[in-house]
Amino acid sequence: MKILRETATITKESTAPRAVPWKVLVVDDEPDIRRLTSLNLRGFEFGGRPLTLLEAASASEARTLLQQHDDIALALIDVVMETDDAGLKLVEYIRKDLKNLMIRLVIRTGQPGVAPERFVIDNFDIDDYKDKTELTTQKLYTSVRGSIKSFRDLQTIELNRVGLSRILAVTPDLYDLHRDKLEDYFQGVLMQLIGICKLGHSGMISTIDGLVATIDGQDIQIRAGAGDFDDSPDGDRRRGEIVALCSKAVVEHQMPPQLRSGAMVVPLRVGEEVFGFVYLEAGEELSESDHELIQIMANQCAAALDNFRLHHSLEESYDEAIDMLGQVAEFKDSATGTHIRRIQEYTRRLAIALGCPEGEAEVYAKASRLHDVGKVGIPDNILRKPGRLTEDEFEIIKRHTKIGDAVLKRSPSLAVARLVARSHHEKWNGKGYPDGLDGDSIPFVARLVAVVDVFDALVSVRPYKDPWQTHHATDEIRQGIGHHFDPTIATTFLGMLERGEMDDLIAAATAPAADHLHAAGE
């Protein structure tokens, strides 16, 4: 979403940090034990977050609760309940069936003889074993606190693992990022930062507040969000409020007092230029080392964004260079440029129909615009001759393929266009020019352009002829299969024509205002 910078009104309720409770499951068939556990843990807090106790009187009830709550931090489990080993089977269910390796499991038993400690520890994936007789108020507090701390630390590790994996997944393509990949990159960065802040875990992403946004002129683009910044109406409202405050903070170097306690705004900056910001709401006080690590991550994020923008700026320059060279060739040939735009779109659609990925098809399409760039080296009196060319004149026209190759070979980035310029007049049977290539030895992109260039020349208005009827031009392409044209490419193109997939381009070519290209030699 795009939000204009504006003044926001923050309610008092929104400035108070949220304290999401830790969930603890107490599984015991004795009501007194469950009640005593609740009393002993009354007022318990860890990391500024209280407890919520979930009670189950049997392993069966516990299974139901575990299915309903996938964010339970700790389970205190009795062994002997509906059966002598109900608690141990519940442990196996949690670890093996639910595949929940995050929850901390503490066995509490009043009958240690039924489930000896060493046997249970050696054979079941638990985190602690306690005899109920030794669980005083203090020892229960210690056990619960240690278990929740371990759970929180596992959350942090998991968040960093998931976040880092997302970053690494897009890093190899960092200079070829499209919008969807860019969002994944920023979401990965946000998850890493959330992990550093110890705000939750990957299964509880909705309990975490944070967003990454970029600034472009007067607009702010939100790239990633979690917690209160999800896609709900309330999330939209909070995004608008926070974006306005954070953009002011990073531009004016002032921390607005309306932000929540514990909030952190980190600018995405390269040199003196601010690209955006990261906003985080920590549930507990962050250390100085945490702040430093978050800043390092933000700096890396900013550098990636800077590289992304630079790459796409270069890509735009490349596109402009192709456009200019294409226009030079077309104006040289008394054209307005619509021919090369049609060839570009014909090529793109045909490449996709042949199974090329979108990106590859786009490369071929752009390269096709320069198929006749070599005509800049052909004398005007020959290039614009209204009548039929002599044999000598045609030999001069044929030089445009080698001239185009010579012009484009100066730039490695135009390598594909160079193949098109040199080889789009080669023929499948080897009787084309300039090199007499045949079959698959002709570059694939040149074989694409060969088909669409001939077809467009046939159906286009020319100074010396009316446009061919589409069915006549189609017959000409069909007759050239296996001689002039690659059979697979030409057959695919004919199928597209039959299905009407090129009708708009044909209409543009035959319109009265269409460009008037000289098709000599084509």
Is position 375 annotated as part of the catalytic site?
yes
Tally of CA atoms within 13 A in the half-sphere of 110 that contains its CB: 7
Residue 270's φ and ψ, nearest 5 degrees, are: -125, 115
Of 319, 346, 305, nearest to 494 by C-alpha is 346
Q: What is the 3-state secondary structure (H, E, C) of 140-170?
A: HHHHHHHHHHHHHHHHHHHHHHHHHHHHHHH
**In Å, what is the CA distance from 249 to each residue of 13, 253, 259, 420?**
21, 5, 10, 52
CA distances from 51 to 19, 48, 159, 227, 497 (A): 10, 10, 22, 20, 68
Distances from the Cα of 80 to the Cα of 25, 77, 93, 113, 135, angstroms: 16, 9, 16, 11, 17
From the list 23, 198, 248, 375, the catalytic residue is 375
- Residue 109 CA to residue 91 CA, distance in Å, equals 14
Judged by DSSP in three states, 100 sits in coil
Pairwise CA distance, residues 347 & 213, whole Å: 37
CA distances from 329 to 129, 169, 317, 335, 372 (A): 82, 42, 18, 9, 6
Burial class (CB in 10 A: 0-12, 13-18, 19+), 496: middle
Which 3 state secondary structure label does DSSP give 389?
coil
∠ CA 24-207-280, nearest 5°, is 135
User: Any idea which residues carry the catalytic annotation?
Assistant: 375
